[in-house]
Amino acid sequence: MICCLTVVFLNAQTVTLTFTGRDVHNQYLPLNRVVVSNLTKDWQETLIWPDTELVMTATGIEDVEVCHGASLRLSQNNPNPFDGTTFVSLQVGEPGDVEVVVTDITGRVVAANHYSPLQPGTHEIRITLSTAGFYFLTARQNGRTAAVKMVNRGDGGDNAITVSSLVETCQGASQPQPKIAHRGTTENPFDLGDQMEYVGFAVLNGEEVESAHVTGTQFVSETIELVFLNVQPCLDYPTVTDIDGNVYNTVQIGGQCWMKENLRTTRYEDGTPIPLGTNYTTTEAYYNDSTSYIPLAERGYLYNWLGAMHGTASSNAVPSGVQGVCPEGWHLPSNAEWTALTNYVSSQPGYVCGGSPIYIAKALASTSWWLSYGEACCPGNQSANPNNATGFSAVPAGTFGSYGYNDVGHYASFWSATEFEDYPDMAHYFGLDYDDLEAHNAIGSMDRRFSVRCLRD
């Protein structure tokens, strides 16, 4: 059996960092400058456009790979973001079948290929994609998996994966890299494993803004993606107005255009009044509690599932196709669409808390009204870092059920358009808790009143 072993030599190794920027729409954003800080060695270096790379030289070690064991590795794609076509190096440690798959943020396979067999060494993968968006490239062999994240912003003509023949045997030489137009070199001291921090600056809406900070230990050359989290309204729909004349702001999160406020209409778009309910029944569709400490403009109304659906059948499609209580051109999101939201937010380093991709509750929670809680990554604690990086602004409006109106300040719960198949009186909903690090998809009785957020068709 052949595999790869890292051998350490007492020579200098260069670590090349390539910086790219993008906004909340997954679109490429030119960087004015990048501030690189070595937190271990206490120095700072600034790259000024058009420099896009920084080369650091580590004193004392160099990694060289030789064949000696099983491995499967993918390099970060180059370029990234890319305009329809990009390249990745696939390192195979032993001969055998390899499956290569590209999926989008919902988990849908957009391209796949099976190679039988691939020989040990480095192979070049060429990927073309026809639609802009966020993607995952995954390679699998003999129970091993390697994956990278990619951002496409152009049309490559079709969705395809092509693996070339062996371009390099596993003998330790590095895969040749594409030529880079702009490069900077620092003379500051650096050792592999130093703690680093990277911050980008770019012009957005006419002013220079700062990216989310990227921190971590640096061992290898890689592309550092700097995400600018300034909340942006939907490009063509900055606001939406319901039949009552209420105006709601919108927010673009990945490929989805959301209302960033809770619905508070008292009528359906066809003019039919929505029954005001103070009893826990299926016939009274929404609940108005004027005594809540959260103003109605932020709290919105609480609707039961049947009232939110307005006689439409359950759907878990993308889009759901259920207008329900939403304005014209908008719909009640399906459970699958709520899942797509959480998958996207989880995939963005600037949105997660504590380094875990499942700790995203803070990024979706509003900055006000949550009960206080000590755990740093919960919506109820904003002492370490603020809530609402995504701009979704989930408000803990509480719920209304058999025990009356309660949980205000505790929970933000939103209906989906999807009933729970095992129990005909239950439906899926999406929620955040003041003391929970994670967002959750759950099920609740259709009689309960939850908040409603609408999604653009």
pLDDT digits (tens, 9 = 90+) for 414-436: 999 999 998 889 999 999 999 99
415: its two tokens: 């209906």
DSSP H stretches of helix in 328-403 = 335-347, 361-364
Output the pLDDT for position 60.
Answer: 44
Give the sheet arrangement for strand 239-241, strand by strand: 239-241, 247-253, 256-259, 455-456, 330-331
Pick from 294, 267, 296: nearest CA to 276: 267
| Residue spans per domain, the chain | 4-227, 239-456
Half-sphere exposure of 315 (CA within 13 A, CB side): 18
Task: Tell me what percent of the chain is helix, strand and coil, each rounded to the nearest 5.
Answer: 5, 45, 50
- The H or E element spanning position 103 is strand 96-104
CB neighbour list of residue 218: distance below 8 Å, 6 or more residues apart: 15, 17, 56, 190, 192, 193, 194, 195, 196
Rounded to whole angstroms, how far apart are CA atoms 134 and 157? Answer: 17
CA angle 90, 92, 93 (to 5 degrees): 150
Output the pLDDT for position 9.
Answer: 28
- Structure pTM? 0.56
Output the pLDDT for position 172.
Answer: 42
Rounded to whole angstroms, how far apart are CA atoms 316 and 452? Answer: 16
- The H or E element spanning position 229 is none
Rounded to whole angstroms, how far apart are CA atoms 436 and 364? Answer: 12
> Any idea which residue has 């700790």 for tokens?
359
Question: Based on C-alpha coordinates, what's the Rg of the chain?
Answer: 25
Number of other CB atoms surrounding residue 55 within 10 Å? 15
> Any idea which residue has 């803004």 for tokens?
209
What parts of the chain have a pLDDT lower than 70? 1-13, 24-26, 50-52, 58-70, 164-184, 204-207, 230, 384
Output the pLDDT for position 164.
Answer: 66
Fold for the domain defined by 4-227: Immunoglobulin-like (2.60.40)
Per-residue pLDDT tens for 243-266?
Answer: 999 999 999 998 999 999 999 999
Identify the bridge partners of residue 360 per DSSP, sorted by sequence position. none
